Amino acid sequence: MTGTAATALAEVLSERDVHFLGLLERRVATAGRTNRPSGTLFDLERIAHVIDSDQPEIVFQPIVELASGAVVGYEALSRFRCEPSRSPDVWFAQASRVGLGIELELKAVRSALEVLGELPRCAFLSINVSAPTLCSAGLEAVLAAVPGDRVVLELTEHQRIEDYDRLNAAMAQFREGGFRLAVDDAGTGCAGFSHILKVSPDVIKLDRTITRSIDLHTARQDMATSLAALARGLGATVVAEGIETDSELDALAGIGVHEGQGYLFGRPATRPWEVLDANTSTAR
C-alpha cells in the first residue's frame, strides 16, 4: 500500500480499521512468499479480527500454598468468547500457524497485566508465554515497566524449542529484572526432564494428568516424586495443577509439592481476589 493510499484510508476509516488492514496486509504478503495452503487467508482474517477485538477475555485462578492454604498467586488464563467455540490452545496454535502467534499472546499478556495493581501485594501473577514470545522484543517492551518480583513467566510446552541458547539468554535478562520462569505441564509432551534441565526453571508445574487421582496411582506418585526431587536440586518451587480433592492434596503435600491450583481452591474467575483474602487460609 502506498503512502498516499494509506493516508486516504486513514481519513475514512477508524484507527481500528487501519490497524486491522495493516495486520492483514503484512500477513498476506508473508503468505504469498511462503505458499501457505488454501484456507489460510480466512484463518488469518479471523485471527486478525480477534486481535483487534476485546478478545481474549482473561480469567484468573488462585495458586495456593499447600502447607498453609494461603493464596500466594494467580495464573492468568485466556478465554475466547467468540465463534468458533474451541479451546484457547487451538486459538493460539492457529494464530501461530498464520504468523500472528506473538501478537495474540502479547495482547493476552497486556490484558492480564492490567489487573496487577489490584492483586494483593503478597500475590504474584503467572502469565503464559511461548518460547518465540519470550524471546521477542515485543515482550521485553510490554514488561519494561512491570515489577518483575510480581510476575512469573510460564513457558508453555505446545511448541518445541529449537534454540535453547537464545531462550536462556532472553530469560537471563528477565531474571535480572526479578522475573521468575516456570515450566508448564511438566511430565508431559515437550516438558520432560531434559527440557527442564535445559531451562533450569524457578517453578515446575506438574501437569494435571499427573495430579488427577494421584492418591490412587503409584506410577503418578513416582513421577511427581521424581519431579519434586529434580526441583529440589534446581532450587525450584513445585506447583501442582488440577487439584480437585482433599485426597489428591494430601498425597501431593506428602510428596513435597509446595503449591497448587485447581477446583478444590477455586475456579478461574474474572477477579477472584475480590472474594478470596490472600492472607486467609482457604477452607478445606
Cβ count near 129 (within 10 Å): 22
Q: What is the dihedral of CA 33, 37, 41, 46, to 10 degrees?
A: -130
How many whole angstroms separate alpha carbon 63 and alpha carbon 260? 6
pLDDT at 59 over 70: yes
How many Å from the N-terminal Cα to the C-terminal Cα in the chain? 61
| Topology (CATH) of 56-274 | TIM Barrel (3.20.20)
How many whole angstroms separate alpha carbon 153 and alpha carbon 155? 6
Which pLDDT score, from 0 to 100, does residue 14 have? 55
For the chain, give every domain's residue range. 3-50, 56-274
Higher pLDDT, 174 or 160: 174
- Could you give phi then psi for residue 115, rounded to 5 degrees? -100, 5
- Closest C-alpha among 8, 95, 36 to residue 17: 8
Query: What pLDDT band is residue 41 in, cutting at 50, 70 and 90?
Result: confident
Return the H-helix or E-strand segment holding 242. none
The percent of residues above 70 in pLDDT, for the chain, comes to 81
Non-local (6+) Cβ contacts of 26 within 8 A are none
Query: What pLDDT band is residue 23 in, cutting at 50, 70 and 90?
Result: low
